[in-house]
Amino acid sequence: MKRLLAIVTLLSIGFGASCTAQPSAAYLAKRDAFVVGLMKKMTLDEKLGQLNLVVGGEATTGSSVSTDVETKIKAGKIGGIFSISTPSRIRKTQELAVNQSRLKIPMIFGMDVIHGYKTLFPIPLGISSSWDMGLIEKMARISAIEASADGICWTFSPMVDIARDPRWGRIAEGSGEDPYLGSQIARAMVKGYQGKSYAETNTIMACVKHFALYGAAEAGRDYHTTDMSKVRMYNEYLPPYKAALDAGAGSIMASFNDIDGIPATANNWLLTDLLRRQWKFKGMVVSDYTGITEMVNHGLGDVQTVAAKALMAGNDMDMVSESFVNTLGKSLKEQKVTQAQIDLACRRVLEMKYDLGLFTDPFRFCDENRAKTEIFTAEHRAEARKAAGKSFVLLKNDKQTLPLAKNGTIALIGPLADNKENMAGTWSVSGDFTKCVSVEEGIKNVAGNVTILKARGANIYSDARLDANVSIFGKPTNRDPRSDADMIAEAVATAQKADVIVAALGEAAEMTGEASSRSDISIPENQRDLLKALVKTGKPVVLVLFTGRPLALPWENENLPAILNVWFGGTEAGNAIADVLFGDVNPSGKLSATFPRNVGQIPIYYSHKNTGRPYGGNGTDFQKFQSNYLDVPNSPLYPFGYGLSYTSFEYSELTLSKKTLAMAVPKDVVNVSVTVKNTGNFDGEEVVQLYIRDKVRSITPPVKELKGFQKIMLKKGESKTVSFALSVEDLKFYNSALNFVAEPGEFVVFVGTNSQNVKEAMFTLNK
């Protein structure tokens, strides 16, 4: 046994493939020699063992959990484990594999490190609203440093599913509705996790998920069917997955949903034709949690059949269902799968382990000292605070209600005012929620002279059953037994003694995330009743809105002077909220997903098509035989890209460097420039957004598509000219034949502060 490890070490010297560039031929040859050599020694059962990914027990997201893990590791029946942590625990578990299994093959250790590890950052939908790629990369880098210091080498992130249905709870885990913004973020996250090279022990492998289209679940109900045209897939839903893979992501997760009637997990077109043949992906494919055996429920056959289908379609690893390890041997005997298919999957798992350097040192992520010094550091928390502040979106601010003065009396009201555990948001499995900063603590830290008067005001839900549904995973909502009326009366009495009311309301953390869909996306009624009573006091009401999804807020928008959307900000949420409330930080977040007026408008997104009967009214009147509703305007409440600042920005008209772009001229560009001036009383950041519209093309064009953005800092009174270089590449789309083409003709270019408020100009694309 010792000899094998020695051989392993010798052959694998030079591990540490570059995570971003294509590995060198020499590296690949060495890896190949090693993996082929190892596979020659492996029995069928040992090969199947490598395909088996089990859950360690710190977090489970399905009804099944893995059993007899220790015995199976020793028998070589497990290739990897997720959801266990700490160097000592991982070392002990790894020792079982490398000391007690026949071939001593190390295991990989995964975890859902989604928006931070111990230092928690804002939920992904929140951080995407920063439109700050440097910041997002930094979040992923810090996540990787902390996770790897705690023994983990693989994260199930980034989640890049485009989502246009806020009923779907997992919209919280992604970057919103837009493929361009989503692709930039996907890239930044992969770069952050994987760093420059796996040779560094503080890099972890990314796993892009959920491939594919998971965000398009019908009716916003989790795990539900998806069905869409290929043209839509290629243009609108696939780009972020592709961007993440192009950035070097080492693995990808198949999604639960079906596509064209075949679940992604068994979808040969998706996992082989598209992923391997068209996109040339060389890394590892893992199923989602029991995604393979769930295909029995989908109606694709018994466990043996669906496992064979999953392997043949292109899955390499089976997460939790153990159907590969339990049935593929039989399927091989019965010639339902081939040895070559099993070998290919095994090979990809071994290559991944080789790339991560585990054959050279299976314990390279087990450094107690790093665990003590690199996790939850003051520096990481400072970054998390900064990130949270930049993720908040100021939805309304009449008469400069915000920022607040750092003196006087504040009535701090609401179930989320002094709650620590809900600050982290969904999918924060590794965090210690009791270490999160509450809003009350934040206000005390930032504005010590302010007098705070507190009242509960409301529970999250009036209905105790609904409250219990979301008071889970260590995130209690601390239900108050009093009646709604009693709590409101107390809150009103408290508010009357204050200068201003800060109402910390909205969703509890677990009202979004996996299997947390809602059919009503408003603030629960009892909370709105509280707001109504608070408004009646005549005191200014600032709504500090917690949410993991776009909410329908027509009443709030109509009746409250100030709304600050703070998502779920993570460990430092309370401090960051206070930073913004009291003006130490000027909000600069912009929505990455449209906020509808009501559920009936869903799906609603800015890049919709024009239709043959576009609405041409004044925005509120009804127009018969045009594409509109009888009872609600077409427009959203808050559009994509929207977010206010304490200051104001003025945009000049656009200047184009020329009026034509030529496909025949290599690298031809048209420069679009705009001058933005800070005309208000605060220094502030602005996200300058560029959209295009292809006026005529062979398939119907969206009315607008984001093609560029820049986040700039402007001191008060300062102006800056921002330029975007538009090339032919930016004008391309997938046509009916799924070819990526640009078509000559006129284009409108729009630049502005959000997807609706823009300046425009025209140019022509020539052959």
Antiparallel, parallel or unpaired: β 409-413 and 451-455: parallel
Among residues 549 and 707, whose Cβ is nearest to ligand BGC?
549
Among residues 168 and 289, whose Cβ is nearest to ligand BGC?
289
Q: How far is the CB of 281 from ligand BGC (least distance, A)?
A: 18
Figure out which of the listed residues 355, 467, 514, 694 binds ligand BGC, where binding follows CB under 6 A. Answer: 514
Among residues 177 and 288, whose Cβ is nearest to ligand BGC?
288
Pairwise CA distance, residues 291 & 287, whole Å = 6
Which 53-112 positions form the footprint of ligand BGC (CB under 6 A)?
61-62, 112
Antiparallel, parallel or unpaired: β 733-734 and 740-741: antiparallel
Among residues 240 and 587, whose Cβ is nearest to ligand BGC?
240
- Residue 529 tokens read as 């009743």
Identify each DSSP E strand in 270-402 by its residue range.
284-286, 318-319, 393-397
Please indicate whether residue 288 is annotated as part of the active site. yes
Helices (H), 459-547: 464-470, 484-496, 525-536
Contact in structure between 149 and 497 (CB atoms under 8 Å):
no
Question: Does 164 help bind ligand BGC (rule: CB under 6 A)?
Answer: no
Q: How far is the CB of 83 from ligand BGC (least distance, A)?
A: 7
Residues 6+ apart with CB under 8 A from 483: none
Q: What DSSP state is assigned to residue 646?
A: S
Q: How far is the CB of 57 from ligand BGC (least distance, A)?
A: 12
Among residues 514 and 556, whose Cβ is nearest to ligand BGC?
514
Which 706-735 positions form the footprint of ligand BGC (CB under 6 A)?
none
Among residues 112 and 579, whose Cβ is nearest to ligand BGC?
112
- Residue 741 tokens read as 């083409």
The single residue listed with the structure tokens 């809900």 is 422
Name residue 352's amino acid.
M
Q: How far is the CB of 62 from ligand BGC (least distance, A)?
A: 6
Question: Does 288 help bind ligand BGC (rule: CB under 6 A)?
Answer: yes
Contact in structure between 149 and 202 (CB atoms under 8 Å):
yes
Q: What DSSP state is assigned to residue 498?
A: S
Which 181-210 positions form the footprint of ligand BGC (CB under 6 A)?
209
Which string of b and e fits 63-92 if b means at least 16 CB within 10 Å? Answer: eeebeebeebbeebbbbbbbbbbbbebbbe
- Taking the CA atoms of 704, 708, 711 and 717 in sequence, report the sign of the dihedral they define: negative
How many residues of this chain bind ligand BGC (CB under 6 A)?
8
Among residues 320 and 325, whose Cβ is nearest to ligand BGC?
320
Question: Does 225 help bind ligand BGC (rule: CB under 6 A)?
Answer: no
What are the phi and psi torsion angles at 358 (to 5°)?
A: -75, -25
- Residue 56 tokens read as 């360690």
Contact in structure between 261 and 294 (CB atoms under 8 Å):
no
Pairwise CA distance, residues 342 & 79, whole Å = 14
Report in angstroms the alpha-carbon separations of 95 from 122, 343, 352.
36, 25, 19
Per annotation, catalytic residue among 112, 132, 288, 694: 288
Contact in structure between 479 and 419 (CB atoms under 8 Å):
no
- Dmax over CA atoms of the chain, in Å, equals 81
Q: How far is the CB of 568 from ligand BGC (least distance, A)?
A: 17
x-or-dash pattern for ligand BGC, window 12-41, by CB under 6 A? ------------------------------
Burial class (CB in 10 A: 0-12, 13-18, 19+), 614: middle
Question: Does 115 help bind ligand BGC (rule: CB under 6 A)?
Answer: no
Among residues 430 and 753, whose Cβ is nearest to ligand BGC?
430
Q: How far is the CB of 551 from ligand BGC (least distance, A)?
A: 23
Question: Does 168 help bind ligand BGC (rule: CB under 6 A)?
Answer: no
Q: How far is the CB of 765 from ligand BGC (least distance, A)?
A: 40
Pairwise CA distance, residues 451 & 354, whole Å = 58
Figure out which of the listed residues 289, 606, 615, 763 binds ligand BGC, where binding follows CB under 6 A. Answer: 289
Among residues 90 and 103, whose Cβ is nearest to ligand BGC?
90
Among residues 514 and 685, whose Cβ is nearest to ligand BGC?
514
Figure out which of the listed residues 156, 324, 651, 734 binds ligand BGC, where binding follows CB under 6 A. Answer: 156
Pairwise CA distance, residues 334 & 407, whole Å = 78
- Residue 231 tokens read as 């043209």
The single residue listed with the structure tokens 């997760």 is 253
Q: How far is the CB of 113 from ligand BGC (least distance, A)?
A: 10
x-or-dash pattern for ligand BGC, window 362-391, by CB under 6 A? ------------------------------
Q: How far is the CB of 193 from ligand BGC (least distance, A)?
A: 14
Q: How far is the CB of 514 from ligand BGC (least distance, A)?
A: 6
Pairwise CA distance, residues 187 & 508, whole Å = 30
Question: Nearest Cα to 402, choosing from 556, 582, 171, 231?
Answer: 582
Q: Would you please indicate which residues are annotated as catalytic (active-site) residues?
A: 288
Q: Which residues bind ligand BGC (CB under 6 A)?
A: 61-62, 112, 156, 209, 288-289, 514
